[in-house]
Amino acid sequence: MDFQLIGRIAPFLVDASMVTIELTVCSLLVGLVVATIVVIGRFSKLRTIRLLATAYVSIMRGTPVLVQLFLVFFGGPQLGFELTPFVAGVVTMGFNIGAYMSEGVKGAIIAVDKGQTEASRSLGFGRFDTMRLFILPQAAPLIIKSLGVNTVILSKSTALVSTIGVVELTYAAQRFVTSTYKPFEVFTVAGAAYIAIVAAISLIVRGIEHLFDVTRRAQA
């Protein structure tokens, strides 16, 4: 183990880790918007909208994210729009993870006892108020867990954007391996950085879960 090499490359890989974090955060924000729209579509009264939302999820989950990334980055110019590697990565990862997030949210909503909906309707509440006041608060714990899991998956999937030239953690590690011929040391540091990112995400999710539990108990 070459500890001197590790000491030299660590600061550069930390900088690359910040790009990975930026990719994760930006893609997550896009994914949340996409997931919200898709979930609304999945519960729409209009059959056409439900079918479109279902088809979107099936396509995004049924094709490799790397293929989606290449279509956006390399196919974009042929359709009249050209994206930077970073933006192409954010768009692809966001729309992909949004499909998975929508399934988690949908599952959490379905898991709530149907009697809750029937009871709220019998009290005169409409669909929107029923969802907002009764269903979502009960589904929230499962939704938070699902979003946490998907965020962890997203943070690791950002390594794929190295294939289109984004200098994130995996790309930087590969460059160092090429110049130093020390893959074990380089990827050990890169792996530790990914573990740190995942651990931070897990802590944030647990904090949100705890805050939600405290708030719910205070309102009870």
CATH, residue 182: 1.10.3720.10
- As given in the structure block, the two tokens for residue 203 are 């802590």
**Total domain count, the chain:** 1
**How far is residue 144 from each of residues 40, 138, 147, measured CA to CA in Å?**
18, 11, 5
| C-alpha Rg value of the chain to the nearest Å | 21
- As given in the structure block, the two tokens for residue 169 are 């953690």
For residue 165, what is the DSSP state? T
For residue 181, what is the DSSP state? -
Domain extent, residue 48, equals: 3-219
The residue type found at 150 is N
Average pLDDT over residues 15-40: 96
SS3 at position 44: coil
- The predicted model scores a pTM of 0.90
pLDDT tens per residue across span 31-76:
999 999 999 999 999 999 999 999 999 999 999 999 999 999 999 8
